[in-house]
A = this chain, B = another copy of it.
Amino acid sequence: MSITVTVMYPDTPGTKFDMDYYLQKHGPLVHKLWGPHGLTGLKVLKGLATPDPSTPPPYRIMALVGFESLDHFKAAVNAHGAEVMGDIANFTDAPPHIQINDDVA
């Protein structure tokens, strides 16, 4: 079964997020390092709003990182996880919430 890793960057007050670096450097790094390890796609969502106009979106960015299988993801992390995770400090000081999910529908 294919999986999607959701990498959710909280919009914590007082923290920074360098969108240019994220899109121009981090995304290509993920493709380069994990492309050969079963990466099926990297989709980037940018928080706009919630249904309640007085509540801002909790996440600035939600990345949807697809892999062919959980085993592919584990192998990708073993091979290059430190480089990918280590790059996060280059664009934000608000660590992401990460969840691994089965693609059920």
A interface residues, Cβ below 8 angstroms from B: 3-4, 6, 23, 27, 42-51, 57-59, 62, 64, 70, 97-105
Beta-carbon contact of B105 and A50 below 8 Å: no
Residues of chain B lying within 8 A (CB to CB) of residue A58: 97, 99
Known: A6-B62, A62-B6. A103 touches B43 (CB 8 A): yes
Beta-carbon contact of B98 and A45 below 8 Å: no
Residues of chain B lying within 8 A (CB to CB) of residue A3: 48
Residues of chain B lying within 8 A (CB to CB) of residue A64: 64
Task: Taking A57-B99, A62-B99 as given, write out 15 further A-B residue pairs in contact, using a Cβ cutoff of 8 Å, ordered by the A residue number.
Answer: A6-B45, A6-B62, A27-B105, A43-B103, A43-B105, A45-B101, A46-B102, A47-B99, A48-B99, A48-B101, A48-B102, A49-B100, A50-B97, A50-B98, A51-B100
